[in-house]
Amino acid sequence: MLLLIAMRVIPLGTSSGKPTLRRNVSGLAVARDGDWVLFDCGEGTQTQIVRAGLSPSRLSAIFITHLHGDHFNGLSGLLSTMGLDRRNRELTIAGPTGIKEYLELLQRLKIAFLTYPADIKEFDSVPTPIQLYETNEYTVTGLGLDHRLFAIGYRIEERARRGRFNVDEARRLEVPEGPMWGQLQSGRDVIVDSKVVRSSDVLGPPRPGKSVAYCLDTRPCEMSVELARGVDLLIHEATYTDEYSSEAQLYGHSTAAQAALIAQRAEVGKLLLTHFSSRFSDPAPLLEEARNIFPNTILADDLIEIEV
C-alpha cells in the first residue's frame, strides 16, 4: 500500500507581543515528510525549532505575516545560523515589503550572514488570493488581512491525492499481489496475461489533500473567511476574550469568540487558537468562549504536534 505523508502543525510560539515563561512569541511550522515551512519568526524561534526536532536544512520557505517584531525579530538569527551550517539550498521568503531592505542592512552591518540563495517575495498589498509558493506536493497562497499595518494570511494546501486502491477489483482482474499493485497505486498501467489493466480501473476518484489556513494578526474580516474556506484546520489568533473586544478592535486583533465565528462561517474542520495576550496565564477562558460557538476548537501550546 502507498504511504500517505501526514501533515503536522507544530506551534513554536503562541504568545502575543512578548514571550512568557511558558510561551514564546509567534512562529509555527507545517511539516511533511522531508520538508517543512515556517509561518512567522519571532525572537527565539530557532531555539524552538531545535526543541521541536526540526532540521533547518529541510526548511523550504518562510512566510511572514507582518513586520511587528514579535512575528519577525527572529528571522536574521535563523537565516544566519543556516549560513553557518553551510546551507546551499535556496530558501523562499515571502511577506510584506521591507524584508529585503532589512536583511540587506543587517548584512552590510555584518549582523546577518546569508551564504545561500534567497528568493524574497515582497508585497505592498494582496487584495485577492495569490499563489506564493508551490512544490509537486502542495501550494501556499496569500491574502491580505486587517491589522494595524499591512498583514498577510496564508493557506497551505496539498494537491489532490490519488483515489483509494480497490483490492477486490484488482483481484477480480487477476492482478498478482506485489509490485504490480504498487505500480497501479502510483498511477501506472500494468499488463497481465497480455491484457492492459489501467490504474483507473482499480483506483477510486481523486481525494482532496489536507489544507491549513494561518490568520495572524487580524481583526475579524471577510478575507479570513475567504482564505479559510473549507480547510481542515484554521489557525487563528485569539488575543483576547470578548470582554476586551474594544481593545481588540483598537489594536487590530480578534477575540476567541470572533475567531470561532470565522471558523463557523468558513466551515472549517477544526479551529486552533493561538497568539494569546500575556494577561491570560491560563488560556482556558479563551477556549471556553470559542467552544460555545465552534465546539471543535483546541488551544495551541508551544511545541505540541497536531496531525491534520
* Tens digit of each residue's pLDDT (9 = 90 or more) over 57-74: 999 999 999 999 999 999
Q: Active-site positions?
A: 70
pLDDT in tens, 176-234: 988 888 888 888 888 888 888 888 888 888 888 999 999 999 999 999 999 999 999 99
| Judgement on whether residues 107 and 186 belong to the same structural domain of the protein | no
Instruction: At 90, list the grid cell.
Output: 535556496
Same domain, 43 and 188: no
Same domain, yes or no, for 296 and 178?
no
Q: Give how many domains the chain has, as a whole number.
A: 2
pLDDT band at 296 (very low <50, low <70, confident <90, very high): very high
217 phi/psi in degrees, rounded to 5: -85, 145
Is residue 122 in a domain? Answer: yes
Average pLDDT, integer, range 155-167: 89
Are 197 and 76 in the same domain? no
Q: Quick one: pLDDT at residue 181?
A: 86
Q: Tell me: pLDDT of 12 over 80.
A: yes
Q: How confident is the model at residue 5 (pLDDT cuts 50, 70, 90)?
A: low
Kindly state whether residues 108 and 172 are assigned to the same domain: no
Question: Alpha helix (H) ranges present in 161-229?
Answer: 167-172, 179-185, 199-202, 222-228
Give the integer Cα–Cα distance in Å for 145 and 262.
Answer: 13
Domain match, 272 and 297 both: yes
Q: What pLDDT score was predicted for residue 187?
A: 84
pLDDT band at 134 (very low <50, low <70, confident <90, very high): very high
Q: Are residues 97 and 195 in the same domain?
A: no
180 in the same domain as 285? no
Mark whether 78 and 171 lie in a shared domain: no
Strands (DSSP E) found in the chain: 8-13, 27-32, 35-41, 59-63, 91-96, 118-123, 130-134, 138-144, 152-158, 190-192, 195-197, 211-215, 233-237, 270-274, 297-299, 306-307
- The residue-averaged pLDDT of 155-175 equals 89
Q: Are the beta carbons of 235 and 213 closer than 8 angstroms?
A: yes
Residue 2 lies in a domain: no
Rounded Cα distance, 217 and 224, in Å: 11
Q: Per-residue pLDDT tens for 109-128? A: 999 989 999 999 999 999 99
The reply to whether the predicted model has a pTM over 0.75 is: yes
Beta bridge partners of 61: 37, 92
| Residue 220 maps to a domain | yes
Q: Quick check: is 1 in a domain?
A: no
- Same domain flag for 38 and 149: yes
Do 182 and 33 fall within a single domain? no
Q: How many CB atoms lie under 10 A from the CB of residue 246?
A: 9
CATH of the domain at 283: 3.60.15.10
174 & 261 share domain: no
Residue 218 domain boundaries: 8-161+208-307
